[in-house]
Structure 1
Amino acid sequence: MSASATVTSSPFTRAVVNSMRKLYPESLADKSFDNTGLLLEAPFNPTRRQKNSVLLAIDLTKAVADEAIARKASAVVAYHPIIFRGLKTLTFNDPQQQSLLRLASEGISVYSPHTAVDATPGGMGDWLCDVVTGTTTPSTPSVAFQESSSSKLYSAPTYPQPGPVSPSSTTIPHARSTIHPSPAPVPTGLEDAGMGRLVTFNDPQPLTTVIDNIAKGVGYPGGIPIAIPQSASVDDIKIRTVGVCPGSGSSVLMKGVKQIPDLLFTGEMSHHETLFAIENGSVVVALAHSNTERGYLRAVMKDKLEEALKGEWEELRKREGEGAEASLKEIYEDGACEVHVSEKDRDPYGIMVRQK
């Protein structure tokens, strides 16, 4: 069988997958429930070339699939796995399966890293630490999505989208630790891997200062859902420890810990878990699941993947390009390498603000 007839994903897609696996080792993912890795390997057709481009998103929705197809991307890196459980069928009757089938037909593969990004040092957990400590803030407030509303009482829903970030000169002095270290063995150099992070400020900080840092770091949402003890006032609360976990964080921040942190910063928690936390004297900030995740794509992952991918693609071109068939030469001669963050990706929940 000739190389051009071999069923495989595109060379550039393989470079994307190799780069993601080096940046966020799949062995660090929580395999007790998660489904990480290459979830859709689209067949490569050299006669219909995709661009050497990858699209980053939190969720693979129809809108994101449309965007990837319009961009002629080679791959989508979707943080959340669109396939969590085994599929008995793959048909157009399911709207999410429609997206997978459409992407496959266009030659676009899908890779999902999920909890490998959470656990890896320098991953999403550490970015949330940067947010609460004021280490990085967006350069400008940005609300990516806002539609018109005919309501006389409430604004149209808004969906926060963090803008470009820049280092801050006012980082609050603090220490960091991993709440649930990854079980051995872990890859060399990633000894601090694990789920959840605990920030311990050198000196207790006003809750309002931490809230302002959160707002800046996640793109100035239209509202901050917060739960505080009923006997307390926001202006009087001081915070020494902050537990952070992207997405749904109660099992990471509250179970198997010696003491619940002063502030639990996550995407979502159940009603009863939140009540338990505030009755314990803690504060909960839950922004909606993916609003604690999306900013990482633009703040960290885009540049990390771009740098790793350039090296990986150059190496693959040299290794495979020399002996490639004439029909594939043009593909290996193309040194372009692009990483984009989705403009359509957003959390399902927006905020409609009451008009004065």
Structure 2
Amino acid sequence: MSAPLPASSSPFTRAVVSSMRKLYPESLADKSFDNTGLLLEAPFNPRRRQKNSVLLTVDLTKAVADEAIKRRDSVVVAYHPIIFRGLKSLTLNDSQQQSLLRLAQEGISVYSPHTAVDSTPGGMGDWLCDVVTGSTSPSSTFSPQKIEKSSSQKYSHPTYPTPPSSVSTSSSPVPHTRSTIIPSPSPVPEGFESAGMGRLVTFSTPQPLTSVVDRIAQGVGLPGGIPIAIPQSASVDNMQIRTVGVCPGSGSGVLVKGTGGNLPDLLFTGELSHHEALAVIERGSAVVALAHSNTERGYLRAVMREKLEESLKKEWETERDQGLKALEESAKEAGAGLVNGLDEAYRDSECEVGVSDADRDPFGIMVRIG
């Protein structure tokens, strides 16, 4: 009888974690409040292997956990950390802990990059810049959701933005420059010199607010409505936008406080408080706040899926080569065959990254149609 393997995550999981750390270095996350990295390391059981696949999501909900279990993924990459503070227990009474325990039981690990993705050049902040400047455009097959009447007879069922399954680089983005609002503190990893929180887009010539809003709607998935705040003395038809501050999620700390009082013409984020929004429009600027995660979710399909899959294929090939060589050396020394079925895991060249279909912002839009 062969000796049991020491407790560890699967080889494929280690390749996923390595790829994520190279693409979105954990040192770029805001550790003053954030909790990033490998939050759940599920023990590897080579006799009941998961698929070599990753599921991307913004939030790890029960529905997403069910999806990952059904798909037999090895790793869930959840942009928002499901563990923010220290835990004194792990029980089935707490819905989030229940999801973690179920995933661990199935051998599925959880990695959360959060603000490392916000800060990284080419990350979520730069994707929002691409959205407002028209640097990317949805695939031609992208169409708005069909609005269906609910049992109320006057309002539709809630609708949620559906990010396009693919995007293409626009040949004619609006001319602009962009800069980082709050640069990451030194030292930053080589190649990530422009890292930091928030981005400021400066158009070469002022843009109609309505044009910017149209580009936002296209980029995030044609939501049923655009929450917008404008000064009471203005109208959307006459406002011109020269500068746009963008920040995914909750943007007040970056766009209001981080700009040193020099507000951009438009603040584009997920949410601001009531009083913060009032203060912004009283000073002549506008706000587009789409609900927290609607400024984040589209990045998973538009950018992260492809970047991670490309990096992971290389990382997994290296991990496989090294693992098989190590196993063969161990087998020679022990005078036995490869052990515990681990060789099967290393021989599996499959590698897939998917995006959750169950993930969505808690808030939808009910449209009056009756």
TM-score strictly above 0.5: yes
- Aligned equivalent of 2:154: 153
Which of 132-141 and 168-177 deviates more? 132-141
Instruction: Classify 1:142/1:94 alpha carbon distance in 2 versus 1 (closer, same or farther; 3 Å).
Output: farther
Distance 1:147 1:83 in 2: 36
Letter matched to residue 309 of structure 1 = L
- Aligned equivalent of 2:269: 266
1:5-20 maps to which residues of 2 (within 5 A)?
Answer: 5-20=5-20
**Residues 138 and 165, structure 1, Cα contact 8 Å, conserved in 2:** yes
Letter matched to residue 276 of structure 2 = E
Instruction: Classify 1:11/1:142 alpha carbon distance in 2 versus 1 (closer, same or farther; 3 Å).
Output: farther
Which of 309-318 and 157-166 deviates more? 157-166
- Aligned equivalent of 1:248: 250
- Aligned equivalent of 2:283: 280
Letter matched to residue 12 of structure 1 = F
1:9-48 maps to which residues of 2 (within 5 A)?
Answer: 9-48=9-48
User: Shift of residue 146 of structure 1?
Assistant: 7.1
- 1:323 aligns to what SS in structure 2? helix
- Aligned equivalent of 1:228: 230
- Aligned equivalent of 2:333: none
Among 172, 185, 188, the alignment partner of 1:186 is 188
- Aligned equivalent of 2:343: 329
**Residues 125 and 244, structure 1, Cα contact 8 Å, conserved in 2:** yes
Letter matched to residue 171 of structure 1 = P
Letter matched to residue 64 of structure 1 = V
User: Shift of residue 321 of structure 1?
Assistant: 1.3
- Aligned equivalent of 2:320: 317
Distance 1:37 1:145 in 2: 38
Distance 2:243 2:3 in 1: 57
Letter matched to residue 185 of structure 2 = P
**Residues 202 and 242, structure 2, Cα contact 8 Å, conserved in 1:** yes
- 1:137 aligns to what SS in structure 2? strand
Distance 2:125 2:287 in 1: 17
Distance 2:162 2:122 in 1: 21
User: Shift of residue 136 of structure 1?
Assistant: 0.7
Distance 2:368 2:291 in 1: 19
**Residues 35 and 84, structure 2, Cα contact 8 Å, conserved in 1:** yes
1:354 partnered with 2:357: no
Distance 2:342 2:280 in 1: 59
Per-residue CA shift, 1:177-223, capped at 9, x if unaligned? 00000000000111100000000000000000000000000000000
Q: What CA RMSD, in Å, does the superposition of the two structures yield over aligned residues? A: 1.5
Among 287, 300, 304, the alignment partner of 1:297 is 300
- 1:319 aligns to what SS in structure 2? helix
1:124-143 maps to which residues of 2 (within 5 A)?
Answer: 124-139=124-139, 140-142=141-143
**Residues 142 and 162, structure 1, Cα contact 8 Å, conserved in 2:** no
Distance 2:172 2:300 in 1: 23
Letter matched to residue 153 of structure 1 = K
- 2:51 aligns to what SS in structure 1? coil
Percent same amino acid among aligned pairs? 74
- Aligned equivalent of 1:170: 172
**Residues 149 and 369, structure 2, Cα contact 8 Å, conserved in 1:** no
**Residues 143 and 159, structure 1, Cα contact 8 Å, conserved in 2:** no
- Aligned equivalent of 1:73: 73
- Aligned equivalent of 1:95: 95
Distance 1:147 1:100 in 2: 35
Paired residues, number = 356
Among 355, 365, 370, the alignment partner of 1:341 is 355
Per-residue CA shift, 1:230-265, capped at 9, x if unaligned? 000100000000000000001100113241000000
Letter matched to residue 332 of structure 1 = Y
- 1:84 aligns to what SS in structure 2? coil
**Residues 141 and 216, structure 1, Cα contact 8 Å, conserved in 2:** no
Distance 2:91 2:147 in 1: 33
- Aligned equivalent of 1:215: 217
Unaligned runs of 5+ in 2: 328-337
Instruction: Classify 1:48/1:145 alpha carbon distance in 2 versus 1 (closer, same or farther; 3 Å).
Output: farther
TM-score, L = length of structure 1: 0.97
- Aligned equivalent of 1:111: 111
Letter matched to residue 149 of structure 1 = S
Per-residue CA shift, 1:321-350, capped at 9, x if unaligned? 123234211111111000000011000000
**Residues 163 and 298, structure 2, Cα contact 8 Å, conserved in 1:** yes
TM-score, L = length of structure 2: 0.94
The runs of 4+ residues in structure 1 deviating greater than 4 Å are 142-148
User: Shift of residue 152 of structure 1?
Assistant: 1.6
- Aligned equivalent of 2:122: 122
- Aligned equivalent of 2:334: none
